[in-house]
Amino acid sequence: MAKAWVSDLWVKDADVQLPDGTTAKVSPTAAELKAITKLPERFRTARFGKGKRWAVGWYELAGGVKKQRRKLFESKRDAEELAASLEEDIRVGRYLQPEDQDRVFREVAELWLKSKRIIKPSTYFNYRKILDAYVLPRWGDVKIGRISRAAVEEWVSALQDGTATVQFDDGYNKDQRPLGPSALKNIVRTVLGAVLNFAISQKWIAENVVREVELPKVPRTPVQETLTHEEVELMAKAAQEISGEYRDYVAVHVLTYGAPRINELLAFQAMHIDLDAHRARVEQTWTRAKDGGRTLGTPKNGDTRVIPLVDHLIPLLKPLVDGVPPTTYVFRVKDTGAPLWDRNWFNRVWVPAAKKSKLAKRYTKFSPHVLRHTGITFAIAAGADPKIVQLMAGHRSIEETMNRYGKLFPDRLEEVRKLMAEHRERSVKPRLEIVG
């Protein structure tokens, strides 16, 4: 039996009696079928002239059980096209069950999110936030088999110009700001596209329409502005004056000359600081939990590292780590010993200090990350090897370091040329000249 077949629901074979008294099945002639409205009564089924005439039937395995399915058509040509397509899909293993394509996106998205078992809690939180705010308001109730490239293109344009419907914690906001290339990539490719890829892996849909959608390119990160040593000191003093806390003066210096990320700095405990060795171990960072709260996790890229503490940081850190239990947070609330929160510190110390020092007016984007960038720039200016800079910064690869800071490294081709020449001269005996 064929895997897919076409049936005529209006016409049947008729039983006729032969001269010898036996019966036989007889089909209508081509002429009788052509004049279908005049078809003899004996060839008509009970549903003759009612509803769609042609049916495509096929078998599929549903939960390990063989099940027959059927789809009706007005024309024989359409029925035969589906039957041929089904035959090919079944033959090559491309067949998709119709009910799977009817799954709503919201259901599939939740299954995809549950499958992400090894990602960081902060990554899970970001996926959840993007789904709830941007993706589900548009696609949540749409059947995954009905998501088209044209509809996605239209949605991307709406996100780009700020007219897409989004939903934040405070309800719907149709005047959402326009989104840039990086945000579009995270929403469209990283989340929507990943959910559709998950559906493909489950054999619920055949293709990911997001793959062909063109997104604006994420611009290469420009070389950021950096502070001078004098401006770092100015910012550190302003921070201490704003809060009245010595720790904030030290924080600005460590953020600059050690170049940790802000939440790596705030996760430092006394046991991570080795004043004698002039080293600090970056073993943890404050990050988002699945529910959006704060929790300790591994540093970015999942790797711990050691950062150097330049000489002047040693006496600065000493009062904060001497004589305290190993698990004491270095940058802590004086009365409770609780670690500082990055958002509170930014709003209560950083922003007022940036205004007081007048540095906020000098630089276009003045955040604590500027200090980290400044410290890395200082290290390069001091002659640090690119690999050392990578390890100090905690970049995933040397390529990341060179993409961001490559232009700051000096052109040392001439130095290399001279060194190679000197090495050869020391290693190779002078060639004797032969006089004829």
CATH number for the domain that contains residue 119: 1.10.150.130
* pTM as predicted: 0.66
What is the pLDDT at residue 1?
A: 39
Residues 26 and 83 in one domain: yes
Residues 154 and 43 in one domain: no
Is position 218 within any domain? Answer: no
Residues 112 and 158 in one domain: yes
Residues 52 and 115 in one domain: no
Is position 271 within any domain? Answer: yes
Residues 302 and 236 in one domain: yes
Number of structural domains (the chain) is: 3
Q: For residues 134 and 94, is the Cβ–Cβ distance under 8 A?
A: no
Residues 334 and 375 in one domain: yes
Residues 363 and 281 in one domain: yes
Residues 116 and 27 in one domain: no
What is the pLDDT at residue 429?
A: 62
Residues 208 and 175 in one domain: yes
Q: Which has the closest alpha carbon to 280: 303, 314, 253?
A: 314
Residues 190 and 337 in one domain: no
What is the pLDDT at residue 174?
A: 46
Is position 317 within any domain? Answer: yes
Is position 281 within any domain? Answer: yes
d(CA 370, CA 224): 8
Is position 183 within any domain? Answer: yes
The range of the structural domain enclosing residue 25 comes to 4-89
Residues 205 and 278 in one domain: no
pLDDT tens for residues 56-90? 998 876 656 778 889 999 999 999 998 888 888 77
Task: List, in order, residues 6 or more apart from 83 with CB less than 8 Å away.
Answer: 4, 5, 6, 56, 58
What is the pLDDT at residue 172?
A: 47
Residues 135 and 73 in one domain: no
Q: Which residues of the chain have pLDDT under 70?
A: 1-2, 61-64, 92-95, 98, 169-175, 220-224, 409-413, 415-416, 429-436
What is the pLDDT at residue 189?
A: 96
d(CA 83, CA 79): 6
What is the pLDDT at residue 240?
A: 98
d(CA 251, CA 245): 10
DSSP H or E run through 172:
strand 171-173
What is the pLDDT at residue 375?
A: 92
